[in-house]
Chains A and B, each alone.
Chain A
Amino acid sequence: MALSAAEVLAGLAEIVTDETGIATDVIALDKSFTDDLDIDSISMMTIVVNAEDKFNVKIPDEEVKNLLTVGDAVNYITKAQG
């Protein structure tokens, strides 16, 4: 069963926290991965791979550069599940 956007956000926040140590409650839909959360490309790829595992989706490398905010990632994952 596909997860709701809120459930994807909660799961993604766990992954980001695990990788970066950023508090889960700071990780909101409008936050930019680079500008707000200071996540570098190496951490981003780790987050992407962990998200693929957790949500059982594929996020192609060429798609990653379009995921600028947490909301972008949540939208992509939510749709990709379906």
Chain B
Amino acid sequence: MFKKVVVTGIGATTPLGGDSKTTWQNLLAGKSGISTLTQEWVAKHELPVTFAGQAKTPATDVLTLQEAKRLDPSSQFALIAAREAWADAGSPEVNPERLAVDYATGIGGVWTLLDAYDVLKERGPRRVLPMTVPMLMPNGPAAAIGMDISARAGVRTAVSACASGTEAIANAFNRIRNGEVDVVVAGGSEAAIHPLPIAAFAAMQAISKRNDAPEKASRPYDIDRDGFVMGEGGGALVLESEEHALARGAKIYAEVVGASVTSDAYHITAPDPEGSAAARAMIGAIEQSGSKLTDVAHINAHATSTPVGDIAEYNALKRVFGDHLPKIAVSATKSSTGHLLGGAGAIEAIFTVLALHERTAPPTINLDNPDPAIELDVVTSPRKLEGSNILAITNSFGFGGHNAVVAFRSTN
């Protein structure tokens, strides 16, 4: 007998705000979290891209100095998001052996790794800090959360590039659904606004070079889109069996009703233009929910603002929804937040949950000239979602051909 799974807590630190509430308010207000980078390393390396979505509230403003010193920025964001989510869930008393973490990152501790290499080159091996290994490992963020909440039923890390955060939520959902655990803190974070990832993403022509108008750079579905915009931060959701949540009288945001992970096996970075594996992920998540495709009212699309990626996802959407597609309110929230890579799926899951909870689909900004090849009902100002038992999905796709989709249903 499968368990029902619900969301009982949310937390985030993003380019739009230092917590989930501020982030959501600024998202609904159509604000952009993207700005010009003023760090000295931008000019020093003559980077071809000079902007990104930096965390609105620096992690070091929130954590103690000693906490911050022992954590890579990716783990700092994770801990901040998880603490907010945990408090939001009412800091529940949970049997530690029934409490787990599924927390993702796309890259891991890239700042720690590269800083440590600079120290090695400039000052020798003796000066490489002993915390370097635990700080750079990609399971660092998950481990930091697990220690903070005393989770002893497993602390796991999905690493599937930009699909990581959604895959972690899918993994968490399945553990609770199968009755292995009662509560999981799930999500993902990323802190890769560093000259090397910027140079590398620019080298592959993946990121926007709209240096003269950073706030306009992330423009999914617009004819003039020229790549994604890097963002940083993290998101966390407390997922819980409905039984456990009801027993303790928890507030419930939405039900998690399905999840699916597929892979393209097509190209290491380019999406399969047919989108067949991406389509299977969407269908899989919706089928698991027991609902019909026509029950889907809202989609938080992956929509990174790359020329080929947005089209490939659209092709997959057409394949899945056919005639129903024009009836779905589609939000491309990376237009405001930028692309948090391994954290993207987590914050977009939060947006999807809040869209259902508040019956409001968030806007897509910068859609000045819609690409005529993409015929979607894109939400450009906050839109009321009518009805009950509304189904919504969030899509994430990543380099490596990863596709991850999670489906949520409204509960109130």
Contact = CB atoms under 8 A, between A and B. Distances in A.
Interface residues of A, number: 10
B66 A46 contact: no
B131 A20 contact: no
Interface of B: 64-66, 69, 126-127, 129-131
A7 B65 CA distance: 25
A19 B66 contact: yes
B120 to A, nearest CB: 13
A56 to B, nearest CB: 14
Nearest to A45: B130
A21 interface: yes
A19 B130 contact: no
A49 interface: yes
Interface string A50-75: 00100000000000000000000000
Nearest to B132: A42
A21 B67 CA distance: 9
Contacts of A18: 65
Contacts of B69: 19
B131 A42 contact: yes
Nearest to B67: A21
A42 B131 CA distance: 7
Which 6 pairs, one residue from A and one from B, show the smallest C-beta to C-beta distance? Answer: A21-B66, A45-B130, A42-B130, A42-B131, A46-B129, A46-B130
Contacts of A52: 126
Interface in A19-39: 19-21
Nearest to B134: A42
B125 to A, nearest CB: 11
B137 to A, nearest CB: 14
Contacts of A49: 126-127, 129
A46 B127 contact: no
Contacts of A46: 129-131
Contacts of B129: 46, 49
A21 B63 CA distance: 12
B127 A20 contact: no
Contacts of B65: 18, 21
